[in-house]
């Protein structure tokens, strides 16, 4: 879905398809509340005292409330659908950036938290091989992000790496 020049996608697109139900539900509740309030006012109040002490109950105010509450319900439904913009490759102009990266090389970085996330290496024939042994450590993932994603987006810029 193109929205103001941005390619928006939804994590749960089914929420968008059923979002109109929230609008119908809110309008029905507002109309039901108006009719019940009108019946209660007519049955249990003195007309003279009611006009002096409360605001008039009109269809116009009910329609306004229905539209506003319906708009809020629709926006909440869109938010629950999980909108996101697909990642686009980013290229920074040459010479416009100085990047300093710090990498932790302590033993805690050897934990294999990203075994299923880190891309597997390709073999000599170009076939992706499932790694045997340790793979997907925090340090390997940090090096992959720095080398494959950040460095490729920063050609011609100054990059420094600090290790602690």
The tens digit of pLDDT for each residue in 117-162 reads: 888 877 777 788 777 777 888 998 988 888 888 888 888 888 888 9
Q: pTM for this one?
A: 0.49
Distance between CA atoms of residues 64 and 31, nearest Å: 11
Q: What are the Cα distances from residue 143, in Å, to 87, 106, 112, 113, 150?
A: 20, 14, 14, 14, 10
Residues of the chain with pLDDT under 50: none
Task: Measure the CA–CA gap between 151 and 97, rounded to whole angstroms.
Answer: 12
Kindly state the helix (H) or strand (E) to which residue 103 belongs, with its residue range.
strand 98-103
Neighbours of 125 (CB within 10 A): 6
């Amino acid at each position: 879905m193109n929205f103001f020049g941005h390619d928006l996608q939804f994590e749960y697109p089914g929420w968008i398809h059923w979002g109109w139900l929230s609008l119908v539900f809110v309008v029905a509740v507002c109309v039901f509340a108006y009719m019940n309030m009108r019946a209660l006012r007519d049955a249990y109040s003195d007309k003279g005292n009611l006009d002096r002490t409360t605001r008039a109950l009109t269809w116009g105010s009910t329609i306004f409330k229905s539209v506003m509450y319906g708009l809020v319900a629709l926006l909440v439904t869109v938010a629950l659908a999980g909108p996101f913009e697909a990642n686009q490759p980013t290229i920074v102009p040459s010479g416009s950036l100085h990047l300093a990266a710090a990498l932790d090389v302590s033993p805690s970085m050897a934990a294999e938290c990203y075994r299923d996330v880190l891309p597997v290496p390709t073999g000599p024939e170009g076939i992706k091989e499932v790694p045997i042994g340790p793979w997907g450590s925090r340090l390997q993932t940090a090096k992959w992000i720095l080398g494959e994603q950040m460095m490729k987006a920063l050609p011609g810029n100054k990059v420094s790496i600090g290790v602690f």
